[in-house]
Amino acid sequence: MLKKDNAAYTRGSIEGTMLKTGFAMLAGTLAMSGYNIADTYFVGQLGKSPLAAMGFTFPVIMLIGCLFHGLASGVMTTSAQALGGGRKSKAAKLVTSGVLLIFAISLVLALLGMSTTGWIFEKFGATGETLEQVKGYMNIWYFGCATASLSMTGNDLLIAAGDSKVASGMMIVGMIINVVFDPLFIFGWGPVPAMGIRGAALATIGSQLVATIAVLTILYRRHGLLRFERIPWKRLKSSWKLIIRFAVPASIGMLMMPIGSAIITRITAAFGDTAVAATAAAGRLEMVAFIFPMALGIPLLSMVGQNYGARLYSRIRVCRRFSMRFAFLFLLAMAVIYFFTAPVLVRFFSPDRDVQKIMTLCMYIIPWGFGMIEIHRYSGFFFTGCGRPAVAAWLNALRILGLMIPLSLLALYLHSLEALFAARLIADVLAGGIGFWLARRMTRQLPEDGMPPPVYAPVSWSRFLPNRLQAFAAAQAHVDSASDTQ
């Protein structure tokens, strides 16, 4: 098979490359939600109890997904930096070590999950038949934990290697296989017995297994980024340390989203079930606006990482200006569309007049912050790609814990639904503005092209340490920076 150019993000027009990869990932972005949509639709045909069981599984699957996304981000960022710097041998070692690490963690999580399924979901409130349905689904899902993690990681690595079209295609193929497997295993056909909700889990595992085999084969044959050879423990430990240095902040930052969502939902519940239903429906409508900016942002981390590894800092500055300007203007246009069409759009989501009224109010206020949300998200990509993943995690914490939750609690105190929506808008605008300022400041301070990357202290509070510990922190930062560029 023809070898692919693994450092394609370091050449050509930034604007053209970003739009090209964004369009390539558009179908894949839509396919990412296809798994849950298909499972929910077919399981819904089984009745209320299996559908309720699916609802109980989402928080656990989301939390584990955040961990895997963080690990994949660590492998993706470090390998992209190595590929951008022309260090393909190091990239291959990082990818191989990362795949082994993720596979090992998947096995540990699978064993822990299967041994604690009943206890965890009893604490969530599942009882009786619903609890048995949850156990049946999750015990199979845990067994296939490795396929979920490796298929996700494989797609991220294809993007890091500049193969966004193939990555998008793999996402679509996996979704299509899942849609075919769902009715087959859930309802049965011919020699295949009907397995109910267990069949939905088996269908997911089967589709992810096919995708995993495909993406790992492509990484091995097309990109040469997987190596089936013995890795010395010292090299393996060094690679794992570098990956985890990026993965831990990424995982923490991603965990902020479900935690914040759960707290905001609880606050919204104080305004009644109608408010919860309306804001949930508005959230689904909101995601439509982000489809293309999300597709544009998927390869952004790899693009920044490759150019950082290649020491092409001027391209990173151009990338930041273009991506943030594009996202802001695109989502500003979507906000205008939502503002004028909200009374019509909400009718497609609920026939209830009270739900429609709250949805309309929500769509009049919140969309004006869409552009700043995406700027905030992109800011995290620039910090991570430039070797500062902890700042990206702090930006997520700032938006959720520092702004959105306190402002929402204030709205609850005022008992004003309008104030609750305004709290979200203010949090998004402030967080986006801070992210924009910090990312612009960071990229402007990058050195000239070809110069060594800057050395950052590993902790922001190191200046308060005793002199000997300050010296140690500075030395450790130098070692970490040097290992990133080798």
Classify residue 415: in a domain, yes or no: yes
Same domain? For 215 and 318 the reply is no
Q: Which residue has the higher pLDDT, 482 or 168?
A: 168
Same domain, 188 and 271: no
Domain identity same for 325 and 430:
yes
Name the band, by pLDDT with cuts 50, 70 and 90, for residue 4: low
The count of domains in the chain is 2
Q: Which domain holds residue 146?
A: 8-229
> What are the beta bridge partners of residue 189?
192
Is residue 412 one of the residues assigned to a domain? yes
**Within a domain: residue 240?**
no
Q: Among 229, 258, 289, which residue terminates a domain? A: 229
Residue 222 covered by a domain: yes
- Decide if 182 contacts 38 (C-beta within 8 A): yes
Pair (163, 311) in one structural domain:
no
Specify whether 217 is located in the same domain as 274.
no
Residues 293 and 430 in one domain: yes
Quick one: 169 and 279 in the same domain?
A: no
> Is the domain of 329 the same as that of 220?
no
Out of 28-37, 69-78, 266-275, 340-349, least confident range: 28-37
| Whether residue 166 sits in one domain with residue 22 | yes
Question: Quick check: is 452 in a domain?
Answer: no
Q: What pLDDT is stored for residue 152 in this prediction?
A: 87
pLDDT digit string (tens) for 356-372? Answer: 898 899 999 999 999 99
Average the pLDDT over 28-55 and give the result: 73
The predicted pLDDT at position 376 comes to 96
* Over residues 388-396, mean pLDDT: 90
- Mark whether 190 and 304 lie in a shared domain: no
Q: List beta partners, residue 192.
A: 189
Is 476 within a domain?
no
Residue 183 has pLDDT above 50, yes or no: yes
Give the chain as a 3 state SS string: CCCCCCCHHHCCCHHHHHHHHHHHHHHHHHHHCHHHHHHHHHHHCCCHHHHHHHHHHHHHHHHHHHHHHHHHHHHHHHHHHHHHCCCHHHHHHHHHHHHHHHHHHHHHHHHHHHHHHHHHHHHCCCCHHHHHHHHHHHHHHHHCHHHHHHHHHHHHHHHHCCCHHHHHHHHHHHHHHHHHHHHHHHHCECCECCCCHHHHHHHHHHHHHHHHHHHHHHHHHCCCCCCCCCCCHHHHHHHHHHHHHHHHHHHHHHHHHHHHHHHHHHHHHCCCHHHHHHHHHHHHHHHHHCHHHHHHHCCHHHHHHHHHHCCCHHHHHHHHHHHHHHHHHHHHHHHHHHHHHHHHHHHHCCCCHHHHHHHHHHHHHHHHHHHHHHHHHHHHHHHHHCCCHHHHHHHHHHHHHHHHHHHHHHHHHHCCHHHHHHHHHHHHHHHHHHHHHHHHHHHHCCCCCCCCCCCCCCCCCHHHCCHHHHHHHHHHHHHHHHHHHC
Tokens at residue 131, please?
């609890």
> Looking at the structure, do residues 225 and 278 belong to the same domain, yes or no?
no
**What gap in Å lies between CA 349 and CA 329, rounded to an integer?**
27
Q: Do 337 and 198 reside in the same domain of the chain?
A: no
Which of 444, 463, 478 is the last residue before a domain boundary?
Answer: 444
234 within a domain of the structure (yes/no) = no
pLDDT tens sequence across 216-268: 999 998 888 888 778 888 888 888 998 888 888 888 888 887 788 778 878 88
Q: Is 262 or 80 the better-scoring residue by pLDDT? A: 80
Within a domain: residue 102?
A: yes
pLDDT of 468 higher than 60: no
Q: Which three-class secondary structure state does DSSP give residue 189?
A: strand
